[in-house]
Amino acid sequence: MQELKDRILKDGRCLGTDILKVDSFLNHQIDVGLTARMGQEFARLFSGLGINKVLTIETSGIPAAYAAAHAMGDLPLVFAKKTSPSTMVDGVYSAPVKSFTKGTVSNVIVSRRYIGPGDVVLLIDDFLAHGEAAGGLYEICRQAGAQCAGLGAVIEKKYQGGAEKLREKGLKVQSLAVITSLKDGKIEFE
């Protein structure tokens, strides 16, 4: 998506060779117009697959997932929580997810009430790097007996290998911007 690539080049900041900071428009301050257009692009990329739910992980994946769910016909949006609230009493699906950026492992959870057999789920996330978050969401779909239609990533860091790992599992992966390198403060796209 050229508009996204242009915005990354304009406002993205490289922190070393692994971290791209895009908090001015994607995951701290949100450019709602750009996010809506990203949702429309995800709807186009995943059309015709019978998707009836969108799944992401809190919190930075929510805006893009919301935009995709809205563009796909106001589908329900479910987000995996990183902590278990006392109100979640109906049982959960869970999977461990490692964050390389934060250096933590979270056991993400989704209530059994919101995903189950018969659901066709689209996974959406802001970044695809090592594939840990998407792998955890994929595992939650598997536990629920739901079909995973694919993963839409706003930004993929191809050099970190996550997309390839997910494709090896048979998952359809579509990324709006694919970065091949963050060397010397320079962002290179596929």
- CATH for 151: 3.40.50.2020
Q: What is the pLDDT of residue 86?
A: 66
Strand pairing class (53-57; 120-128): parallel
Q: What is the pLDDT of residue 18?
A: 86
Strand pairing class (147-157; 120-128): parallel
What value does the mean pLDDT take over residues 87-97?
Answer: 85
Instruction: Quote the percentage of the chain above a pLDDT of 90.
Output: 85
Question: With 80 as the cut, is the pLDDT of residue 114 above it?
Answer: yes
Q: Distance of alpha carbon 138 from its chain centroid, rounded?
A: 11
Q: What is the pLDDT of residue 102?
A: 74
Question: With 80 as the cut, is the pLDDT of residue 96 above it?
Answer: yes
185 confidence band (pLDDT: 50, 70, 90): confident
Number of domains the chain is built from = 1
Q: What is the pLDDT of residue 7?
A: 98
DSSP summary character for residue 185: G
> How distant, in Å, are the alpha carbons of 21, 72, 139, 160, 187 from that of 179?
13, 26, 26, 10, 7
What value does the mean pLDDT take over residues 156-173?
Answer: 96
Q: In 3D, which of 89, 95, 43 has the Cα closest to residue 67?
A: 43
What value does the mean pLDDT take over residues 69-97?
Answer: 89
Q: What is the pLDDT of residue 74?
A: 98
Q: Model pTM?
A: 0.95
The per-residue pLDDT for range 15-62, each reduced to its tens digit, is: 988 889 999 999 999 999 999 999 999 999 999 999 999 999 998 999
Going edge to edge, which strands form the sheet with 53-57? 77-80, 53-57, 120-128, 147-157, 173-181, 188-189
- The residue range of the domain holding 83 is 2-189
Q: Where are the beta strands (DSSP E) in the chain?
A: 13-15, 19-21, 53-57, 77-80, 92-99, 104-111, 120-128, 147-157, 173-181, 188-189
